[in-house]
Structure 1
Amino acid sequence: MFTNENSADAVYGSLGESRWSMECDENVNVLSLWWNEGTCHLMGYDYDKEYFQTLPPFTHLHPDDLKHTMTALQNVLNDQSGLLKFDIEHRFLTANGQYKWVRSVGKPIRNEEKKRIKFYGLITDIDDHKKNELKRQKDLIDALAAVKHANNAKTQFLNNMSHDIRTPMNAIIGFTALAAGHIDEPEKIKDYLKKITTSSKHLLSLINDVLDMSRIESGRVKIDEKEVHLPDVFHDLRAILQPDIFSRGIDLLFDTLGVINEDVICDRLRLNQILLNLLSNALKYTNPRGTVSVRLIQKPKAPKGYAHYEIRVKDNGIGMSKEFQKHIFEAFAREKTSTISGIQGAGLGMAITKNIIDMMGGTIEVHSKLGKGTEFIVNLQFRLNSNPIVYDKIDELQNIRVLVADDDVNTCYSVSQMLQEIRTQFAIQSGDEYGAFTIDWMMPDMNGIEVVRRIRKVIGNAKPIIILTAYDWSDIEEEAREAGVTAFCAKPIFMSELREVLTKPFRLPVLNKKQEKLNHFEDKKILLVEDNELNREIVTEILQNIGFEIDDGDIAVSKMKYAKRNQYDLILMDIQMQRMDGYVATREIRTLPDSQIANIPIIAMIANAFEEDKKADLEAGMNGRIAKPIDIAHLLEILSNTLKGD
């Protein structure tokens, strides 16, 4: 018998109209549960049903709310003061199968033996309030996450930009200094100027990424259409990417198919951005000895006065997941896998690319498989130049058979089509002598130069032999001349350029290999630790020109571990490397057992030339630092001061 049973009405009166009562034992085992008419109506049930007089306990609670509801009940039962009230928010299943947020409030009344407890309480509908509150909380959490993501993205973006911008700056300043030291060597000057131009364009593209994303988001980017010669665009692209191609050991293939109209009206800067972003992306995510291909196709059935082009950029790199393909064109998007650790990039390239293509009225799609590679397909339509070039017939090339040798079947097919267009008749007699030869420089079984040597032994010097290549040929020009090469033709190959090569007499210049060396450091040998091919080339030539012997590599610890005493006089250590950063490498070298080797002078080469980084240099055991881009005079001063005690 409950001694305070008569107080139930007073409890209900203080709590409200949607009433409930529950009888349970001290372990919260429910013995009975009852709702009044108001509670039944609140939950959408019919009060007349006897079901609610024997309602199974807690079956209508949301599973996620059961634990904390039971805990709250147990806490009230364990309270000996009798002051603690059951007051909790939870979800309850309504008659329509939906959960409703309610507030349950109750007070216990114990019987004389204190083994049976009866709760009297009420339920209040708080569904709208609770859902609004939860929505506000979710919005705040999402907003906080968005701010955090934006801050992290901006921080990463600025860090990447700081490093990436200094790399082409280093090339520009370094090659400018080298050019000044070889003013009487035209071929070297030409090579340096070409690399300066390439690096300048790369630097411009990085700066444009930063500016364009802001301008695109504010709607201030405009398309500036002018006359454009497509071969110039693609050859400039190849030159810009040349350092990355060599440094990563990737095979880059260019080819064209059905390109009749080479002169169009478009925004050259934006087209170059599209191509550079797609190719840079492909090169970054393709492993060494992998392949990246670019194909330009002119599609038929374009409207009159227009040309429709399809650009396919394909690689056999790491690929991407189906889920990430949905986000690839979002700003700062990068798929986070261990495979891509160490890859530089701000994550803006694909977002900018998509926006530019949209503004140019084109489309882009991506196809990718993890571990298999990725292909981007871009479709663009350009107005044709109002004054197209009309090619005259070349009488000298009529009925001449041409041998096309290339390990890429697409290139062979494309060049063959062009040659048939150039000639009005095609000699098919098997006994016809070849009138010209086009040979790919890089073939799997034998390089093009050796092929030329063998052909010259058979045919003599009368027929032209043209080398097709997607690479910089300046380093092999002298060898090519000696072998008998008539001319070079850069991939991708366009009709206008092939005509010019076949009709214009070529004479390759003799390279002047003379090189004056300063003798200040002739007996000194430096270990250059730099994993960027372009930077390594610059520093190597600078140091060799002043007399140093240079050994290079990107694994400094291993080199020094097995080095002999006095094998090296000094180490130039790049700080930012993928395998092991320069600080870690320096610390490990300082712990080598041979004290003479362990104490070798180490000069840091660092892109982040901030004062606060000097402390890190000293803590790692560095003897000094040189900032990138490298100031040659400052470098010589540091080297002189470091080695003057030897």
Structure 2
Amino acid sequence: MKLKKDNINKRMILASMGHEARTPISGIIGLISKAQKEINDKNKVKDNLEKVKLISENLLELVNDILNASKVELGQIKVLKQKININSMIENINIIIKDKAIEKNQTYKVITEGIDNLNIIGDEVKLKQVILNLLINANKFTQEKGEITLKVKRINENIDEKVKVMFEVEDNGIGISEEFIEKIFEPFLKVDNFNNSSFDGTGLGLYICKELIQLMGSNLIVESTLGKGSVFRFYLYFDKHFDEERKIANNELDLDILRNKKVLLAEDNEINRMIAIEILEDLGLIVEYATNGKEAIEMFKASDINYYNYIFMDVRMPIIDGYNVTKEIRNSMRPDSRNIKIIAMTANTFPEDEEESLNIGMDKHISKPINKKSIIEALLN
């Protein structure tokens, strides 16, 4: 019976992923075709590319949802401890939700209390994902001209320097009946029960929210009245983070030490390679690249001792993958083989993937799509 259920879940994941991915992929193809036709109009091309970027980011979120659901099923998600600036996180969330609210002519309000300049220790990726999923769910199930409110409030500060924060998402949408509330956390529920394009989705959002909140040590509280709206609320305890301002200042000063340092970039994907080279060269680094694992090993072994200061290593490459390239480099007899900093670049975003990279012999692990901030943190911290 369990095997049959697992197979059904796998089929549902694949069907749901295909269904949800079709629309954004079609949108990207359409916008690229439009940009090609308007190639001589710089403003229109820029507008099309910005839309492609936004849709691509949403598509990446979808893929992450599917992967997270799979990891939840297998019990493989771990909670990280990292710095979170609450205000900055909320601002990033607002950028996404405001656009969605405007599309449906909804009012979107944010109410915060006691979080100004609050830096805490927690898992920003998972916390942001929960809040975004709750807000996107509210947007989806609230009619045009409806209202959505995000509340973030510091409740108290204990003597052990822990901070309690309340997160709440409220809407005046279609609401949920009392007997249906417990069922909303079942995966794929919306796909099966809301056969309506207005309320489309993977049905994974609330399921993932509940599971992630429990992993972070709390529970998701739901209050709802059919036809009047819903409130989703949870409370979390965090440790305070004290030295972020000093860390940022140090990073800005330390950027000068990167100038003219040499990087071996091992990346087989041309677009990803181009993006990485642009970011690294913008930081003043000198970049040489390999397009597969075998080539990366050959370039390292052919170079002078201490010629390369850093290696950025794609994990999945043809001929020899990044893990085996790292092993080959670390096990070579060169004096610099143990000291050179090797940074993994991978689409695998889970803590166990980072742990595997470190166990192999890599020094840092950054997730794709890479950006300037993640590269700076990997180089300097």
TM-score (norm 1): 0.34
User: Shift of residue 281 of structure 1?
Assistant: 1.0
C-alpha spacing 1:184/1:299, structure 2 compared with 1 (3 Å): farther
Matched, 1:287 2:134: no
Alpha-carbon distance in 2 for matches of 1:317, 1:375: 10
**Could you list the runs of 5+ residues in structure 1 that have no partner in the other structure?**
1-142, 391-646
In the TM superposition, what whole-angstrom CA distance separates every residue of 1:134-193 from its partner, at most 9, and x where no partner exists?
xxxxxxxxx59x958973x6655544422322333345555566677578857973x656
2:297 alignment partner in structure 1 = none
Give the Cα separation in 2 of the matches to 1:383 and 1:273: 20
Aligned to 1:298: 154
Match of 1:276 among 123, 132, 137: 132
Quote the Cα distance in structure 2 between the aligned partners of 1:331 and 1:338: 13
Which of residues 204, 214, 229 is equivalent to 1:358? 214
Residue 222 to residue 337, structure 1, CA distance change in 2 (3 Å): closer
In 2, Cα distance between equivalents of 1:170 and 1:240: 21
Match of 1:230 among 66, 72, 86: 86
Q: Greater CA radius of gyration, 1 or 2?
A: 1
Q: Kindly indicate whether the alpha-carbon contact (under 8 Å) linking 2:87 and 2:115 is maintained by their aligned counterparts in 1.
A: no
Contact 1:320 1:335 in 2 (8 A): no
CA deviations 1:555-597 (Å, max 9, x no partner) are: xxxxxxxxxxxxxxxxxxxxxxxxxxxxxxxxxxxxxxxxxxx
User: 1: distance between equivalents of 2:159 and 2:23?
Assistant: 44
Q: Residue 206 of structure 1: CA displacement?
A: 0.9
Which secondary structure state, in structure 1, belongs to the residue aligned with residue 185 of structure 2?
coil
1:244 aligns with 2:103: no
Question: 1:544 aligns to what?
Answer: none
Pair 215,197 (structure 1): closer, same or farther in 2 beyond 3 Å? same
Q: Which residue of 1 aligns with 2:265?
A: none
- Alignment deviations for residues 112-148 of structure 1 (CA, whole Å, 9 cap, x no partner): xxxxxxxxxxxxxxxxxxxxxxxxxxxxxxx59x958
CA 230–302 in structure 1, closer or farther in 2 if over 3 Å, else same: same
DSSP 3-state at the match of 1:279: helix
Matches within 5 A, 1:106-117: none
Distance 2:191 2:19 in 1: 21
CA distance in 1, matches of 2:225, 2:26: 36
1:319 pairs, out of 172, 175, 180, with: 175
What is the distance in 1 between the residues matched to 2:194 and 2:159? 47
| Correspondence list, 1:66-465, <5 A | 147=4, 151=8, 157-172=13-28, 185=42, 189=46, 194-334=50-190, 342-387=198-243, 389=245
Give the direction of change, closer, same or farther, for the CA distance of 1:222–1:347 in structure 2 (3 Å limit): same
How much identity, in percent, do the aligned residues show? 31
Distance between the aligned counterparts of 1:173 and 1:339, measured in 2?
26
**Displacement of 1:298:** 1.2
Residue 262 (structure 2) aligns with: none
Question: Which aligned pairs between 1:504-523 and structure 2 lie closer than 5 A?
Answer: none
CA distance in 2, matches of 1:269, 1:283: 21
Secondary structure (helix, strand or coil) at the match of 2:91 reads: helix
Counterparts of 1:272 and 1:280, CA distance in 2: 12
Name the residue aligned to 2:293: none
Secondary structure of 1:383's match?
strand
Do the aligned residues in 2 keep the contact of 1:261 with 1:384 (CA within 8 Å)?
Answer: no
Between the aligned partners of 2:45 and 2:150, the Cα distance in structure 1 is 30
- Tell me if the contact between 1:160 and 1:346 (Cα under 8 Å) persists in the aligned partners: yes
Aligned residues: CA RMSD: 3.4
Q: CA deviation at 1:346?
A: 2.0
Going from structure 1 to structure 2, the CA distance change for 1:240 and 1:193 (only over 3 Å counts) comes to farther
Whose helix fraction is larger, Structure 1's or Structure 2's? 2
Residues 38-57 of structure 1 mapped to structure 2, 5 A cutoff: none
Larger RCO (CA under 8 A, 6+ residues apart):
2
Q: Is the 8 A contact 2:171 2:230 kept in 1?
A: yes
Whether the 8 Å contact between 2:87 and 2:117 is mirrored in structure 1 is no
Change (3 A) 1:316 1:178: same
User: Which deviations, in whole Å up to 9, do the C-alpha atoms of 1:463-482 show, x marking residues without a partner?
Assistant: xxxxxxxxxxxxxxxxxxxx
Contact in 1 for aligned 2:85/2:117 (Cα 8 Å): no
Deviations 1:446-492 (A, max 9, x none): xxxxxxxxxxxxxxxxxxxxxxxxxxxxxxxxxxxxxxxxxxxxxxx
Give the whole-Å Cα distance in 2 for the aligned partners of 1:233 and 1:296. 11
Tell me: CA distance 1:306–1:338, structure 2 relative to 1, closer, same or farther (3 Å). Answer: closer
Residues 175/147 of structure 1: CA separation in 2 closer, same or farther (3 Å cut): same
Q: Structure 2 length normalisation: TM-score? A: 0.55
Tell me if structure 2 keeps the 8 A contact 1:156–1:346. Answer: no
Structure 2 counterpart SS, 1:350? helix
Amino acid of the structure 1 residue aligned with 2:205? G
1:307–1:384: 8 Å Cα contact kept in structure 2? yes
Whole-angstrom distance in 2 between the partners of 1:345 and 1:335: 6
Contact 1:282 / 1:317 at 8 angstroms: preserved in 2? Answer: yes
Separation in 2 of the partners of 1:258 and 1:388? 18
Confirm or deny: 8 A CA contact 1:161 1:346 kept in the other structure: yes
Q: Secondary structure at the match of 2:184?
A: coil
Q: CA deviation at 1:285?
A: 0.9
Question: For residues 401-435 of structure 1, what are the alpha-carbon distances to aligned partners after superposition, in whole Å with 9 as ceiling and x for unaligned?
Answer: xxxxxxxxxxxxxxxxxxxxxxxxxxxxxxxxxxx
Corresponding letter in the other structure for 1:297 = K
Residues 538-617 of structure 1 aligned to structure 2 (within 5 Å): none
Alpha-carbon shift at residue 333 of structure 1 (Å) = 2.9
The separation in 2 between residues aligned to 1:257 and 1:150, in whole angstroms, is 46
How far apart are residue 366 of structure 1 and its match?
0.3
Structure 2 residue aligned with 1:476: none
One-letter code aligned to 1:366: V
Is the Cα contact below 8 Å between 2:191 and 2:203 reproduced in 1? no
Q: How far did residue 279 of structure 1 move?
A: 0.9
**Secondary structure, counterpart of 2:79 in structure 1:** coil
Question: In structure 1, the residue corresponding to 2:189 is in which secondary structure?
Answer: coil
Which amino acid in structure 2 is aligned with residue 350 of structure 1?
A: L
Secondary structure of 1:210's match? Answer: helix
CA contact (8 A) 2:194 2:200 kept: no
**CA shift for structure 1 position 376:** 0.1
Matched residue count: 245
**Structure 2 counterpart of 1:290, one-letter code:** G
Q: Cα gap change, 1:186/1:341 in structure 2, threshold over 3 Å: closer, same or farther?
A: closer
